[in-house]
Chain A
Amino acid sequence: MSEAGFLELTGIESAYGSTAVLKSIDLSVRHGEFVALLGSSGCGKTTLLRAIAGFVTPTAGTIRVGGYDVTQQPPDKRGMALMFQSYALWPHMTVADNIGYGLKLRGVSRAERAQKVAAMQALLGLEGLGERKPANLSGGQRQRVALGRALVIDPEILLLDEPLSNLDARIRLSVRHELRALQQRLGITAIHVTHDREEAMVMADRIVILDAGQIAQQGSPEEVYNKPASAFVAAFMGAENLLTLQGSVEGDRLVIAPGPANALGSVPLASRPLVSGAIEARFRPEAAQLFPVDAIPTLGPGMTFRGLVRSVSYPGGVWRHVVQLGDREVLADSLQAFAAGDQVALHVPAPSLFLFNSDANRIR
């Protein structure tokens, strides 16, 4: 069995009535890889997961596991286990019966079943809860029972549909790491659907960002975070600050025309596929550096804007400022607090400034 392309999706399409939900999805997942499908609600990520699981038949395309075409196979013939968002535990069965049901269906003897269920309970920290009903468990315990039920049948691929969204924020942080550690220990291939960017970042080997039924970008967490391929990905990955600039490509630099908040400047093109014209510039609040206008130090490559602090708040760690740059307001973090009404210089280093041609240019 080849390591690369263990789970191979080719040209997967799906439609709900006349609305296309998935548009020609190609995705190749290595054996043992943890892939996060990330996107906002309605982007098709759950439909894609259900298509992989076999609950949705794609209108076009093929799904292969280990080289075998499973597109028309029923869910249980794909070597996959799906863990549902609602956990979908059976309320009339005990924890042990819930976990062991998959084994019962496979005709595993009662003794062996008890032994495997006990081992799974030990693995997931559910010892002593075997005789309880799901209604008498905490949210975190239910989540682990659902995970145990999926893992006990030794699936080759574990599919997770927003498994952490029903947990308290505090538990969620630790469960992320537990789930990731467990996946690595078992060496299982995992596809994880989530709308939580940070969750995808800390758990996944690779993030696949979906937008309107298409893959907007895929890559390692560092790649999608630091090198977003489109304005959508940049915004989705937290670069919500948006400025519109005029730029012209000159050699290996992009020269940015003076605007309401900036003087003439330039940044290295650094293999960005830009053309001259209107430029959409995006950056994260934490990428901005704020200085008093009368004390700007020598700065590296990047763009410096001048603006007015509108308000300031303290979300923890850094001060967050609302800064007006021309007719736009942006957020900027700084270790040092500025007062509302202060004139400031806002510098964004070149690597953190995400530049894209505006839609008008792209259409042309």
Chain B
Amino acid sequence: MSRRVLGLFLVAPSLAVILFLFILPLCLSAVGAFRVDQAWGLGNFWKAFDLYTKDILFSAVIVGLSTVLIGVASVAIGGYLTLGTHPVAVAILRWLYRWPMFIPFIVVGQILRAFLAKNGMMNNVAVSLGLMTPLDATSFLDWRGIVIAFVWKQTPFVALLVAGAMASVNREGIEAAVNLGASRLRILFEIVLPQVTTTLAVGLILSFVTMMSVLSVPLMINAQSPTMLTADIAFRVNSYGDYGVANALGLISLVLAASVAWIYLRISLKEQA
């Protein structure tokens, strides 16, 4: 009995931190989403949908598109690291691809702001190479900028997971496919990728949730409407002190993230069956 008490006593500090700093605020804000003028109601949600339906769709589409592109890029990187035959190219890629992971989102936003602007580095290079005239230059500082920032920042993380999983795929299984005459591309899609789908899904879901919660990138790159939900939440709180609608928007983005996790759970349950 005393051992059990001692055990509880030992986990109490961390349990308290989770309860009071994580669970409680989450519950309070979820409850707060349903409070309108000291009464219960769905008013915050009607207001949120009324004002921000475009932004909800914008967020879902932007993050969804980024997730797909991250998946494609990380499979390409992991595949080349696993199946690439040029040792120098593989070594360079292995060294290079992880760097964006160590750069904070706000810095990514700043870098890309300078890079993608109408008179930014990307257009300047294109103009000086004679690929276009200064008049044709357009700014990428809209939804495209957000997608580029997300893919740039999150691909290394997913690629790291995917490349690790691919490296642990039985080497002889790959050689057996080579022996039967499979091309590198077919080996990637028919032999290697099916064996790492779970890892890829985990990486993409974690990325999806991370991207749903990034505030700095939409603020830095896309200072216009429609924008992402995080910017709207910050705006409701900072400009109006409107915690009700902010809480409702928070709950909506939680549902978006949870729906992705639900898809993942279904896949992994099906795999186990």
Contact = CB atoms under 8 A, between A and B. Distances in A.
A149 B182 CA distance: 14
Contact of A105 (B170, B172, B173, B182): B182
Interface string A28-65: 00000000000000000000000001110000000000
B263 to A, nearest CB: 19
B179 A75 contact: yes
B187 to A, nearest CB: 10
Contacts of A185: none
Q: What size tier do the contact residues of chain B reach?
A: 10 to 19
Contacts of B179: 53-55, 75-76, 80-82
A149 B181 contact: no
A105 B175 contact: no
Interface string B179-217: 111100010001100110000000000000000000000
B199 to A, nearest CB: 13
B180 A88 contact: no
A136 to B, nearest CB: 13
A331 B182 CA distance: 53
Interface stretch (A89-97, A173-181, A240-248, A300-308): A89-97
Nearest to B195: A92
Contact of B173 (A53, A75, A88): A88
Nearest to A97: B190
Given A91-B195, A92-B195, A84 B176 contact: yes
Contacts of A149: 176, 180
Interface residues of A, number: 25
Q: Which of B177, B194, B195 has the most chain A CB atoms inside 10 A of its CB?
A: B177
B178 interface: yes
Contacts of A55: 175, 178-179
Q: Which of B173, B175, B176, B190 has the most chain A CB atoms inside 10 A of its CB?
A: B176
B182 A89 contact: no
Contact of A88 (B172, B186, B190): B172
B85 to A, nearest CB: 11
A89 B178 contact: no
A106 interface: yes
A102 B191 contact: no
B181 A86 contact: no
B175 A84 contact: yes
Contacts of A101: 177, 180, 182, 190
A88 B195 CA distance: 13
A81 B180 contact: yes
Interface in B140-185: 170, 172-173, 175-182
A116 B186 CA distance: 22
Contacts of A74: 178
A153 interface: yes
Given A88-B170, A90-B191, A105 B180 contact: yes
Contacts of B180: 76, 81, 101-102, 105, 149, 153
A93 B170 CA distance: 14
A80 B190 CA distance: 22
A122 to B, nearest CB: 21
Q: Which of A85, A102, A153 has the most chain B CB atoms inside 10 A of its CB?
A: A102
B182 A84 contact: no
Nearest to B182: A105
Given A76-B180, A76-B181, A101-B180, A88 B175 contact: yes
Interface in B103-149: none
A86 B191 contact: no
A63 to B, nearest CB: 15
A336 B200 CA distance: 68
A82 B181 contact: no
Q: Which of B176, B179, B181, B194 has the most chain A CB atoms inside 10 A of its CB?
A: B179
A77 B179 CA distance: 9
Nearest to B186: A105
A88 B179 CA distance: 12
B170 A86 contact: yes
Given A91-B195, A92-B195, A102 B181 contact: yes
A198 to B, nearest CB: 26
Contacts of A53: 179
B181 A105 contact: yes
A92 B194 contact: yes
A89 B181 contact: no
Nearest to B194: A92
Nearest to A146: B176
Interface string A88-119: 11111100000001100110000000000000
A141 B181 CA distance: 24
B1 to A, nearest CB: 44
Contacts of B173: 88-90
A253 to B, nearest CB: 54
A84 B172 contact: yes
Contacts of A80: 179
Nearest to B183: A105
Given A76-B182, A88-B170, A101-B190, 13 more contacts: A74-B178, A75-B175, A76-B178, A76-B180, A77-B181, A81-B180, A82-B179, A84-B172, A86-B170, A90-B191, A91-B195, A105-B181, A106-B181
27 contacts: A55-B175, A55-B178, A74-B178, A75-B179, A76-B179, A82-B175, A82-B176, A82-B179, A85-B172, A86-B172, A88-B170, A88-B172, A88-B175, A88-B176, A89-B173, A90-B173, A90-B176, A90-B191, A90-B195, A92-B195, A93-B194, A101-B177, A101-B182, A101-B190, A102-B180, A102-B181, A153-B180
The 3 nearest A-B residue pairs measured at CB: A76-B181, A88-B172, A102-B180
Interface of A: 53-55, 74-77, 80-82, 84-86, 88-93, 101-102, 105-106, 149, 153
